[in-house]
């Protein structure tokens, strides 16, 4: 890359600008290129990756004892019972957005007095993506880029670990999906009209 080589060497930057002057026909053209670059840079900063609460409307509960899995206000609550070996909150057809980057959530988990082996987990396509068997709470985040644009099976579960007690409880909350920025049509229109304006001004001058 000839221009890249020039830019990497500060001493040779001026010849590049001079060349742009020749292409554009005036120093104003160069100035406008610099201003346009600054505007695009600012737009880039404004459009950084952001997180949004995961839409849980497509999820279902799987349990035999009603009320063992509930969801309210974005918080999933699991209460172990003596009938179900596993309690699931799941979506068999979760469509991962093309620009999804990470899935994050908070958890809390408590074992009953005689519950030794129970655990809380999250799965993607039936493969464990996270689990804990330690009482406590925390924040979890995992990479979703490998699943961009795919329809996956996504679930959280409280699993019976083989003890004789049914005293474990767990919760999952603040579930967020982070996405990389995608320029909105309105933004693209602004950039496009700005470019058209630059070209128009340049033509008037010539």
The interface region with Ca ion, picked from 45-53, 89-97, 108-116, 191-199 by CB under 5 A, is 108-116
Q: How far is the CB of 171 from Ca ion (least distance, A)?
A: 16
84 near Ca ion, rule: CB under 5 A: no
Are 98 and 180 a contacting pair, CB within 8 Å?
no
Q: What is the DSSP letter of 149?
A: T
The interface region with Ca ion, picked from 86-94, 101-109, 117-125, 149-157 by CB under 5 A, is 117-125
Q: How far is the CB of 128 from Ca ion (least distance, A)?
A: 18
Q: How far apart, in whole angstroms, are the C-alpha atoms of residue 24 and residue 168?
A: 71
Helix (H, G, I), strand (E, B) or coil at 153: strand
106 near Ca ion, rule: CB under 5 A: no
115 near Ca ion, rule: CB under 5 A: yes
Of 118 and 155, CB closest to Ca ion: 118
Read off the tokens for 61: 């509960």
Of 115 and 155, CB closest to Ca ion: 115
Ranges within 118-137 binding Ca ion (CB under 5 A): 118
Contacts of 124 (CB under 8 A, 6+ apart): 147, 152, 153, 154
- With left for phi above 0 and alpha for psi between -120 and 50, is residue 69 left, alpha or beta? beta
163 near Ca ion, rule: CB under 5 A: yes
Q: How far is the CB of 168 from Ca ion (least distance, A)?
A: 5
Are 121 and 202 a contacting pair, CB within 8 Å?
no
Binding site for Ca ion (CB under 5 A): 115, 118, 163, 165, 168
């Amino acid at each position: 890359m000839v221009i890249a080589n020039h830019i990497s060497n500060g001493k040779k930057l001026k010849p590049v600008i001079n060349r742009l002057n020749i292409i554009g026909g005036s120093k104003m053209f160069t100035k406008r290129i610099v201003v346009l670059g600054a505007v695009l840079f600012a737009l880039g900063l404004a459009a950084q990756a952001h997180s949004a609460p995961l839409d849980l409307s497509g999820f279902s509960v799987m349990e035999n004892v009603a009320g063992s899995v509930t969801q309210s206000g974005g918080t999933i609550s699991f209460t172990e019972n003596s009938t179900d070996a596993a309690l699931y909150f799941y979506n068999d057809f979760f469509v991962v957005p093309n620009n999804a980057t990470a899935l994050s959530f908070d958890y809390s988990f408590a074992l009953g007095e005689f519950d030794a082996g129970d655990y809380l987990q999250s799965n993607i396509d039936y493969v464990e993506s996270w689990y804990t068997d330690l009482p406590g709470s925390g924040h979890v985040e995992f990479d979703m880029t490998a699943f961009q644009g795919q329809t996956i099976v996504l679930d959280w579960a409280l699993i019976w670990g083989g003890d004789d007690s049914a005293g474990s409880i767990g919760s999952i909350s603040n579930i967020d999906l982070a996405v990389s920025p995608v320029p909105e049509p309105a933004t693209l229109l602004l950039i496009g009209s700005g470019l058209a304006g630059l070209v128009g001004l340049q033509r008037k001058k010539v």
